[in-house]
Structure 1
Amino acid sequence: MTIAPVPPTFDARRSGPSALVLRHDAGIGLGNVATTLASRGYAVTTVDTPTGDVAGVDPLAWDVVVALGGEEGAYETERYPYLAREIDLLAARAEARRPILGICLGAQMLAVALGARAWRGDVHEVGFVPVDLTPDGVGTPVAHVAGVPMMQWHHDTFEVPVGARLLATSPSYPQAFAVDDWLLAVQFHPEVDDAIADGWIERWADDVAHLPGVDAAALTTAKEQHLAAAQRASRAMVGAWLDGLAGTVGR
C-alpha cells in the first residue's frame, strides 16, 4: 500500500474512490482514519514523504488527500525540503478546491498553503484535551468531537487562513478550520488508535515528562479512560466529512 514515489501519470480514480496519504513518520500513521476510509470504499495509497518524491505527483489525481502529522514544523521547509513540495501540492489542490484532510502538521501545512502562518507556540499541548466548538463549528463534522477529550501532541500552531472558518478551539490553540465542505484541518489527532497511542507513549513520554501531570503512567491512564470515545467521535467526524463530499469524488 505504500509507494515512493507515486507514478506521476497514475489516475487513482479509475478504480473508484481513492485517497492519497502523505505520511511523515511510520509511527504517525492513518490508524483510526483508515477504518472510516475503508468503510466508504476508498482505496488508500500512502507516500512516505521524507523518502518519496511528491514533486512529480499529480495533485488532482486523487479523490481525497490526507496530510498526516509529524515532528517537523510546517515552517521548517529549509531543514526539511520535502515539506515545501508537500505544501506546493496542497496549494495546487486547494486552488482546484479538491478535498483535503489535514491532521496536526498536515493542518499547519494547509494553513501555510492557503497563505497563513504556522509557528512554535508557547504551550506544549499533550494528552487528551476536550475540543470546544465555535459558533461556526455547530452543525459541521467537527461537532461530533465537541466536548470529547481528543489526543493532542504538539507545540506548534497555526493562523486560520483568510476565507476559512474556525470550527473549534482548545484552551490554548485553534483546533479546526474548514473551507466550505471540501477542506478540513484539525490540530488534534483523530487517527490515534491503541497501537499509535502506545507507540507515542513509548517513544516520546520521556520528552514531555516535565509537563505538569504528563508522564507515561498518566498518559496510559488517560488513554484507557478516553481513547474509545475519541475513536468513536473521530470516526463519526471523518465519516460525516467524507459523506459531505458526495458529488465531488470520482469526477
Structure 2
Amino acid sequence: MKHEVLAIRHVHFEDLGSLELVLGDRGHLVRYLDVGRGRIAAPNPLDPSLLVVLGGPIGAYEDAQYPHLAPLLSMLKKRIAAGLPTLGICLGSQLIARALGARVYSSGALELGWSPLALTEAGRASPLNHLDSVPVFHWHGDTFDLPEGATLLASTETCAHQAFSWGEHVLALQCHAEVLTDRFENWLITYPGDIAQSGATVAGLREATARHGAALETAARAMFGEWLDRFPGAPRSA
C-alpha cells in the first residue's frame, strides 16, 4: 500500500490540522485535492494509504447545488467496500454516513463552540479515549442517522451522533478534533454569520480556543496516532 494520504478539502483552512502533524512524523506524504480546482472523480480512491474527507459549509445532501458530491460519494463507497482506511471530519463524517446508506439532515440547531464529548463504552475502548473529558471544537448544523452496522462512539447534548466507526477501517467525527490554535483565527474571519446565529461571540470563541486548544492538540495527536496504528504497514513513530 502506498503511504500517500489524500485529503479532500472544501475550505482552505479546514485542513488536516493535528492529523497532518502526526502523518508528517510517520513519513506519510499528504496530498490535498481542493474541491473546485480539480475533477473530484480523477483520483483512484483505492490508491492512497488513507483517504480523508474534510469539513465545509455545505450540506452533504445538496447534490443539485454541488455536483462534486455524487462522485465523492462514489469514491467513498468504493473505498469503504475495499476495506481501506477512511476518515471523515464534520461534512466528511456526514458524507461517510450517507455513503453507508444513512440519512443526513439539518439538526435544527447550530452546535458551535467548545464542549467535551460523552463517550460510549465502545468510544472509551477506542482511540477516542484520549478525548475523554477534553473539550473539543464543534461547528455544524447538520446531523445524520447512525448507519446500519456502525458503532456509536460519542455524543453531545446537542448532537446524539458525534462519532462512529464502521468496521475497523472507517472513522467518522462530527466534531473538529483536528483544529489547531494557531490557525483558528481563519474560522472567526470566514464565518461571522454562523457565530452571530449561534449566540456566541468572536471574543468568547477566541478566548475558549486559547484556553482549550493546547489540550485538544495533545489529545488529538494521541487519538489519531492510535487509530493509525491499527493498520498493517502504516508508518509508525520512531
Equivalent residue pairs, number: 234
State the 4+ residue runs in structure 1 displaced beyond 6 angstroms.
none
Deviations 1:148-174 (A, max 9, x none): 110111101111110110000111111
CA spacing shift, 1:180–1:205, aligned 2, 3 Å: same
CA contact under 8 A between 1:206 and 1:216: conserved in structure 2? Answer: no
CA spacing shift, 1:116–1:210, aligned 2, 3 Å: closer
1:234 corresponds in structure 2 to 220
Using the TM superposition, give the Cα deviation of residue 248 of structure 1 relative to its aligned residue in structure 2, in angstroms: 7.0
2:185 corresponds in structure 1 to 198
Could you tell me how far apart the structure 2 residues matched to 1:100 and 1:239 are? 14
1:43 corresponds in structure 2 to 29
CA contact under 8 A between 2:111 and 2:198: conserved in structure 1? Answer: no
CA contact under 8 A between 2:73 and 2:99: conserved in structure 1? Answer: yes
Could you tell me how far apart the structure 2 residues matched to 1:50 and 1:175 are? 28
- Out of 63, 69, 78, the residue aligned to residue 55 of structure 2 is 69
1:180 aligns with 2:145: no
Could you tell me how far apart the structure 2 residues matched to 1:156 and 1:207 are? 13
Could you tell me how far apart the structure 1 residues matched to 2:9 and 2:57 are? 11
Could you tell me how far apart the structure 1 residues matched to 2:12 and 2:18 are? 14
CA spacing shift, 1:126–1:248, aligned 2, 3 Å: same
- Out of 170, 178, 189, the residue aligned to residue 156 of structure 2 is 170
CA contact under 8 A between 1:63 and 1:98: conserved in structure 2? Answer: yes
- Out of 198, 210, 213, the residue aligned to residue 211 of structure 1 is 198
CA spacing shift, 1:210–1:62, aligned 2, 3 Å: closer
Equivalent position amino acid for 1:76 in 2: E
Using the TM superposition, give the Cα deviation of residue 247 of structure 1 relative to its aligned residue in structure 2, in angstroms: 4.4
- Out of 95, 99, 105, the residue aligned to residue 91 of structure 2 is 105
Q: Secondary structure at the match of 1:209?
A: helix
Using the TM superposition, give the Cα deviation of residue 50 of structure 1 relative to its aligned residue in structure 2, in angstroms: 2.4
Could you tell me how far apart the structure 2 residues matched to 1:196 and 1:151 are? 13
Equivalent position amino acid for 2:45 in 1: P
- Out of 57, 62, 73, the residue aligned to residue 43 of structure 2 is 57
Unaligned runs of 5+ in 1: 1-11
Question: What's the TM-score once normalised by structure 2's chain length?
Answer: 0.94
Deviations 1:177-202 (A, max 9, x none): 00122111001112211243111012
The alignment-based identity, stated in percent, is 39
1:24 aligns with 2:10: yes
Unaligned runs of 5+ in 2: none
Q: Secondary structure at the match of 1:54?
A: coil
1:115 aligns with 2:101: yes
Using the TM superposition, give the Cα deviation of residue 125 of structure 1 relative to its aligned residue in structure 2, in angstroms: 0.4
Could you tell me how far apart the structure 1 residues matched to 2:12 and 2:191 are? 14
Using the TM superposition, give the Cα deviation of residue 206 of structure 1 relative to its aligned residue in structure 2, in angstroms: 4.3
CA contact under 8 A between 1:65 and 1:99: conserved in structure 2? Answer: yes
